[in-house]
Amino acid sequence: MEQPVIYLDNNATTRVAPEVLEAMLPYFCERYGNPSSIHTFGGSVADDIEQARCRVADLLGASFRDRDGIASEIIFTSCGTEGDNAAINAAFNARPGRNKLVTTAVEHPAVLAYAKELERLGREVVLVPVDGRGRLDMDFLKAAVDENTAVVSAMWANNETGTVFPVGEIAKIAHAAGALFHTDAVQAAGKVPVDVEALEIDFLSISGHKLHAPKGVGALYVRRGVRFSRLLFGGHQEKGRRGGTENVTSVIGLGKACEMALASLEKDAARLAELRGRLEEKITSAIPGTHVNGDLENRLPNTSSISFDGIEGESILMMLNMYGICASSGSACTTGSLEPSHVMRAMGIPYTSAHGTVRFSLSCYNTAEEIDKVAEVLPPIIARLRSISPFWEENK
């Protein structure tokens, strides 16, 4: 009999909710019209896209509707990466004469790799450091943002540690210098309340597959009045802001997922925080030499980054995998050697524990029984790996 999978890798991707799939299905073979068509068969699909757009806007606190009732601050994209790239690109175009991007050392590559490319093209890029708990150095940030800054981009919540940044405060600093503010809310949306209006955010990107919608769809919020320049030239879709026939099925799915996330946000957050607490308590009390990473007072409720001294995260993951347990590590495989991730390095986590970092990320589908199973199998796994590790204290 196949063993059941215990899926604790929800920051990597999530299961499509059955309700989301159900909402999408008619758009494959029955309502497959092109939303740009003149006929009603296609045109009615366009109406459904607008309903999905409103649902996304509702999750983000974007209350503006144009005179046709359209939540025109939302642009559908292909993924979180596209939203991040498009926002930063548009911000530079909206602030001609300014050449600087201020971002953080712990952003996802969707921002950091693009920043590197912009630097190659002659832009100035400043990376704001974090402390050992993953909190931003706000004094550094304040000093870095000036009259040459076009855009400040800071993630709402970190994908590895779950640490939440003070995005409202950062937006204020950006605006005081006349710069625009973008936040990558790919991990935050659907897990913590997001209110673009209260926090005066100019650009915000999300990704469907992190909140129980399919992969390959996302959305970018662009505040009304902020000039947006397109990344994709083509047809007049998305009010001329993104060429390309809409990914209708996935857009419908994203709308449904946002509606569901908004309806259960508080309940899910409380339950996830409880399950996460259960996991951390059981692990840290049973296994010596473990550390929970990130800002423990200000974290996503579903994310737990735990370092196990003296061993490698990848070995832990492989052994967990034998029990059907899916998690991920805080390492990135660079040129064959397993280097701690840029997030762990930016936090200054000591090498011997950064190496043994495992990220558990939960979703509403996880149960207390699953958590208990992980807590049961982990201590012997760690003990076994440490018994053969030259980096574990007692073996040195």
Active site residues: 333
Closest residue to ligand PLP, based on beta-carbon distance: 80
What is residue 182's three-state secondary structure?
A: strand
In the numeric block, the tokens 């758009």 are attached to 27
Smaller CB distance to ligand PLP: residue 80 or 190? 80
Q: Which of 271, 369, 282 is nearest to 292 (CA)?
A: 282
Separation between Cα atoms, residue 261 and residue 189, nearest integer Å: 8
What length is written for the chain?
396
Q: Residue 155, interface with ligand PLP (CB under 6 A)?
A: yes
Piece of 181-189, 250-258, 291-299, 346-354 that binds ligand PLP (CB under 6 A): 181-189
Piece of 74-82, 239-247, 265-273, 380-388 that binds ligand PLP (CB under 6 A): 74-82
- Class of residue 322 by CB neighbours under 10 A (exposed 0-12, middle 13-18, buried 19+): exposed
Q: Residue 159, interface with ligand PLP (CB under 6 A)?
A: yes
Q: How near is the Cβ of 158 to ligand PLP at its closest, in Å?
A: 7
Contact criterion met (CB below 8 Å) for 138 and 174:
no
Contact criterion met (CB below 8 Å) for 192 and 172:
no
Smaller CB distance to ligand PLP: residue 184 or 312? 184
Smaller CB distance to ligand PLP: residue 107 or 202? 107
Q: Residue 80, interface with ligand PLP (CB under 6 A)?
A: yes
Q: How near is the Cβ of 337 to ligand PLP at its closest, in Å?
A: 22
Separation between Cα atoms, residue 287 and residue 98, nearest integer Å: 51
Q: Residue 186, interface with ligand PLP (CB under 6 A)?
A: yes
Site string for ligand PLP, 107-136 (x = CB under 6 A): -x-x--------------------------
Q: Residue 161, interface with ligand PLP (CB under 6 A)?
A: no
Q: How near is the Cβ of 184 to ligand PLP at its closest, in Å?
A: 5
Site string for ligand PLP, 83-112 (x = CB under 6 A): -------------------------x-x--
Q: Residue 187, interface with ligand PLP (CB under 6 A)?
A: yes
For 188-212, the DSSP string reads TBTTB---TTTTT-SEEEEEGGGTT
Q: Residue 184, interface with ligand PLP (CB under 6 A)?
A: yes
Smaller CB distance to ligand PLP: residue 74 or 110? 110
Smaller CB distance to ligand PLP: residue 184 or 246? 184
Residues 196-215 that bind ligand PLP (CB under 6 A): 207
Q: Residue 79, interface with ligand PLP (CB under 6 A)?
A: yes
Q: Residue 81, interface with ligand PLP (CB under 6 A)?
A: yes
For the chain, how big is the Rg over CA atoms in Å? 22
Site string for ligand PLP, 212-241 (x = CB under 6 A): ------x-----------------------
What is residue 84's three-state secondary structure?
A: helix
Strand partners, 276: none
CB atoms within 10 A of CB 311: 24
For 275-324, the DSSP string reads HHHHHHHHHHHHSSSEEEES-TTSB-TTEEEEEETTS-HHHHHHHHHHTT
Site string for ligand PLP, 242-271 (x = CB under 6 A): ------------------------------
Separation between Cα atoms, residue 385 and residue 287, nearest integer Å: 12
Residue 218 host element (H or E) = strand 218-222
Q: How near is the Cβ of 111 to ligand PLP at its closest, in Å?
A: 7
For 341-387, the DSSP string reads PHHHHHTT--HHHHTTEEEEE--TT--HHHHHHHHHHHHHHHHHHHH
Q: How near is the Cβ of 67 to ligand PLP at its closest, in Å?
A: 32
* # binding residues, ligand PLP (CB under 6 A): 12
Q: Which of 171, 177, 172, 173 is nearest to 146 (CA)?
A: 177
Q: Residue numbers of the site for ligand PLP (CB under 6 A)?
A: 79-81, 108, 110, 155, 159, 184, 186-187, 207, 218
